[in-house]
Structure 1
Amino acid sequence: MTETRYAIEVREQHFQPVMSVRTISSLSKLPQLIGETYERIMLFLKEMDVNPAGPPFVCYYNLDMEHLDVEIGFPVEDVLPGEGDLCPSEIVQGKMVSCMYKGNYEKMNAVYDEMNAYISLHGYKAKGMAYEIYYNSPMDVKSAEDLLTRIELPIE
């Protein structure tokens, strides 16, 4: 068996409501869009007197770097009403191949490669989307090597 550099596991994702925005963005505009969207969602949640139920995430539905189809949001305890493009949604339920990654976002390809190899090796089929859950941000850490991101790939 091939040796892996990352701790990859399979876990079950249960029903998890979220408040999110789904949109299209180029990769170059994504960091600013993510920051602005997180701020909008946090303001909306504060107005509703609701706290996030966990760290923020981005779900990537494709890999077209000029037209990324992304969902940006926060998990919440209960399904909430939407407002404009802020919509109630949920994290896909079912099996996930999951890995906690510590390091620079720009070096995440190696983790994705190993996770996809794991999926193939174990006979799973990827559903074609990827969640990145951000436990901190570049503004929170001294070095990009200290960024903590959980990557989750829904599988069948």
Structure 2
Amino acid sequence: MSDGIEVVTLEEQPALVIEATITPDKFGDMLGQSYGRIMGHLASKGLEPAGMQFARYHDMSDGTMHLAAGIPTAGEVEGDGGDILYQPLPGGQAATALHIGEYHAVGAAWSKQSAWMEANGHGSVFGTFGGWDVYENDPDSVSDASELRTRIYQPLPK
């Protein structure tokens, strides 16, 4: 562990996602709407989530965010034939850190983790990187936004 960052080995995690390219000001709305739709799709199949909601970042190099809002599943689940897709989170080694506090401040944790990755020979992750946030709790489950817990993951190059 270094600066709160540790390397873990992850198993591939089955998940359903909705992908979108948005401007940062649409981030919260996109996540909320996507999670609601995915939960509805799971419920229509009699299934429950197998973990906490996440956001995976594919590309943020041009001022927009190409990302996937997702919910883990217990196994492979067919999408809806439209924009709800089966897309597992990758297995393998990843750097991880825990951010405690408001969502808008999680970027500082990503910056710290990116600096750690460069210093440890893993290269830069800014722009196109494939990392993700897992929301370990949500505003409905805590009394204050300072109690929000966001775990960040960045796959390490093989």
In structure 1, the residue matched to 2:58 is 61
CA distance in 2, matches of 1:57, 1:22: 12
Residue 118 of structure 2 corresponds to residue 117 of structure 1:
no
CA distance in 2, matches of 1:29, 1:110: 20
CA distance in 2, matches of 1:104, 1:65: 25
CA distance in 2, matches of 1:29, 1:124: 31
Structure 2 letter corresponding to 1:145:
S
Q: Where has structure 1 moved over 3 Å in runs of 4 or more?
A: none
Name the count of aligned residue pairs: 152
Structure 2 letter corresponding to 1:112:
W
CA distance in 1, matches of 2:111, 2:67: 20
| RMSD of aligned Cα (Å) | 1.7
Residue 83 of structure 2 corresponds to residue 82 of structure 1:
no
Tell me if the contact between 1:26 and 1:65 (Cα under 8 Å) persists in the aligned partners: no
Structure 2 letter corresponding to 1:79:
E
Indicate the SS of the match to 1:38.
helix
Q: What is the TM-score when the length of structure 1 is the normalising length?
A: 0.89
Of all paired residues, the percent bearing the same amino acid is 25
Q: What is the TM-score when the length of structure 2 is the normalising length?
A: 0.88
In structure 2, the residue matched to 1:19 is 16
In structure 2, the residue matched to 1:8 is 5
Q: Which runs of 5+ in 1 are unaligned?
A: none
Structure 2 letter corresponding to 1:139:
D
> Which stretch has the larger CA shift, 126-135 or 142-151?
126-135
In structure 1, the residue matched to 2:152 is 151
Indicate the SS of the match to 2:59.
coil
How far does the alpha carbon of each residue in 1:38-84 deviate from its partner, in whole angstroms, 9 at most, with x for none? 11111110111111110000001122575210101111111111111
CA distance in 2, matches of 1:56, 1:65: 25
